[in-house]
Structure 1
Amino acid sequence: MAVLDSIMQEGLLVDRAWFSRQGVESTAVDYYLRSGKIEALVHGLYRKPGPPLKWQQVVYSLIVLGHDVHVGHLTALSYHGYEHSLKLGVAQSIRLYSAQSLPSWVEKVEIGPGFIKMKRNPFPNGSVGLVDVLFGTWDWPIPYSSAERAFIELASTLETREDILQAKLMFEGAANLRPMLLQSLLEACGNIQTKRLFLWLARTIGHPWYKHIDISRIYLGTGKRQIVSGGTLDTQFLITVPKEVQDGQRLTISDQPRGFIGYSPRIIPGRFIPNSDPNSSLALRHKNTHLAIPVDLLESEPGTDGYSQCTYKAFTMDM
């Protein structure tokens, strides 16, 4: 048991090949199994008996077993403090990036909320923008995308109007991104559409760091790219984007839980808003001012296309 304790930490998942590399023979592994000193989670995968697994233990075990993997996309954004923009009450699967196929046991291990291996990696080479986050008693280093890299990873997966509107809400809270790191990441990014969409979102929202990005050093390819059908063409980045968020020229509205706080523009009275639950508030944005109005302060009349014409009740604004 002394040998096992010296090489295998609590919570680590290993296979027989790992034991072999540590000088532990197969017969010794069988003995550890029979004696209950290790247990099999699935065929060929072992751990010391202990409390329920956490997903971070699975990720670190993958790294120990030789897989080049990091935590990114929405999972990394949540870690960096942007979880308030995600769907409340919905468990988000852990987003992983890896140049290799993950072993089949990743899907078989019973652990919530599950894993998603991202198919589209805008950074096929290099580790720029990755940071190690220490986890657990042993301070295991787990690579995460920085917020800057994670936002670019997010941009690489936006395909619908709804995706873009949700991403825009998250971008609105990203006032403290580092322009030097963003510059390096955008120059290293291998996906033209991703870079154009990220830069369009950054310009549309207008955070101060955008002014420090040297677009002339970023290869943006040629020709037009359609991101959403029925959208409007942005003449700078040559992508079709939702009409209602093009440079903040049109009103955009999103339903958020009551008490939502974010960054939104000004509301122009008399525009259309989606029908909403009376226990919600409306985050209204136009230009650079935020306003969140509880629905019960609004009056509305049914309109077409599931929308309502709204007026203000017990509420006045001087814009």
Structure 2
Amino acid sequence: MNSKLNLLVNEFSPGSVVLQQWLGQNGISHSLAQKYVQNGWLERLANGVFYRPQKDPKVLPTWATVLSALMYQTDIKVHLAGLSSLQQQGLSHYLSLNSTNTTNQLKNKVWIGTDGKQTLPKWFREFCQVEWIYCKNKVDNQHVKACIPITVNGKALLASSAELAAFEVVSAIGRDISFEHVAELFQGLVNLSPRKVQTILASSKAIQANRVFLFLGHYYEHQWVKRIDESVVNLGAGKRQVVANGHYDRQYKITVPSDFRFH
């Protein structure tokens, strides 16, 4: 076995996704990669995207395998985000999984966050085993600072910290998740770091998300929210209608579901 093929086999176990960008950076040309395909060392999934075949040819790469390849074989800044990050960190176990609404929101959907206005590759966007939910939060410079390394199905990933993931689900209210679902999540987020929350909110430009985040923290009387200096958080001016036909909270000037009233 020559040195280049040996490098490929040692670096990527069967079931891994291998990108041409990595191959090129390690001296494996496109034509050489095609020879590896012909000899069964690789399978072609898409243009510039290969797969190390497994014993069972019916087994396709998992979403974690695909996401890990994008993270660590390209220069694209991407992370596991929002609801998916909370799930993988075991922070969504208290959800009412028997409810149809919650089950549907969890099934076959993977939340990811990107840095800025990056365009993700077509092969990644069209990966059909899951639906990618894109987090478009307005938080400056948080991709690396507020992410943590985790392992999913044996694949290394970067994921939002619990604090950033909580902010990401709040930012998605009305688009990818309901207020009630986010509130149910927040009820269990008792151990968030006040320092990390402070950093995220202070760098956030999303006025409505900032207000809802603080509102839910106070609603559930979490200790961490009492240590947040709200004077440095951009809460903007004017009213925000988070949901229609709800209760207006005067402190944060947001309309929330009628059940969410301070007693």
Q: CA deviation at 1:42?
A: 2.7
Shift of 1:84: 3.4
Q: 1:132 aligns with which of 149, 159, 165?
A: 149
Give the conservation status (yes or no) of the 8 Å contact 1:132–1:142.
yes
Q: How far off is 1:124 after superposition?
A: 4.6
Which of 12, 21, 37 does residue 9 from structure 1 map onto?
12
Do the aligned residues in 2 keep the contact of 1:42 with 1:109 (CA within 8 Å)? no
- SS across alignment from 2:88: helix
TM-score (norm: length of structure 2): 0.83
Corresponding residue for residue 22 of structure 2: 18
Contact 1:12 1:47 (C-alpha < 8 Å) held by counterparts: yes
Return the match for 2:240 from 216, 222, 225: 225
Aligned pairs (5 A) from 1:46-61:
46-50=50-54, 52=59, 53-61=61-69
Q: Which residue of 2 aligns with 1:34?
A: 38
Which of 184, 190, 199 pairs up with 2:199?
Answer: 184
Larger radius of gyration: 1
Measure, in 1, the Cα distance between the counterparts of 2:189 and 2:51: 40
d(CA) in 2 for partners of 1:110 and 1:242? 35
Q: Does 1:74 align with 2:83?
A: yes
Moved more, 102-111 or 165-174: 102-111
TM-score (norm 1): 0.70
Q: d(CA) in 2 for partners of 1:202 and 1:218?
A: 14
1:85 paired to 2:79: no
Deviation at 1:221, TM superposition (A): 1.1
Deviation (angstroms), 1:187: 0.8
8 A Cα contact 2:142 2:200, kept in partner: no
Alignment of 1:132-281 (within 5 A): 132-135=149-152, 141-159=156-174, 163-247=178-262, 249=263
Structure 1 residues 119 and 74: CA distance shift in structure 2, 3 A: closer
Report Cα offsets for 1:36-94 as digits up to 9, x if no partner. 11111234311211263222111110011222100011101111221431644542411
Paired with 1:115 and 1:15, the residues of 2 have a C-alpha distance of: 21
**What fraction of aligned residue pairs are identical, expressed as a percent?**
27
Change (3 A) 1:57 1:5: farther
Match of 1:290 in 2: none
For the aligned residue pairs, the C-alpha RMSD in angstroms reads 2.2
**Cα–Cα, structure 1 residues 172 and 155, in superposed 2: closer, same or farther, change >3 Å?**
same
Q: Tell me how far apart the structure 2 counterparts of residues 151 and 17 of structure 1 sit (CA, whole Å).
A: 33
The one-letter code matched in structure 2 to 1:6 is L
- 2:124 is aligned, of 101, 106, 111, to 106
Amino acid at match of 1:123: V
Task: Give the length in aligned residue pairs.
Answer: 243
Counterpart contact for 2:174–2:242, Cα < 8 Å? yes
Confirm or deny: 8 A CA contact 2:186 2:217 kept in the other structure. yes
- SS of the aligned residue for 2:202 comes to helix
Is residue 247–residue 257 contact of structure 2 (8 Å, CA) maintained in 1? yes
AA in 2 matched with 1:105: W
Q: Is the 8 A contact 1:133 1:142 kept in 2?
A: yes
Contact 2:135 2:172 in 1 (8 A): no
> Which residue identity is paired with 1:57?
T
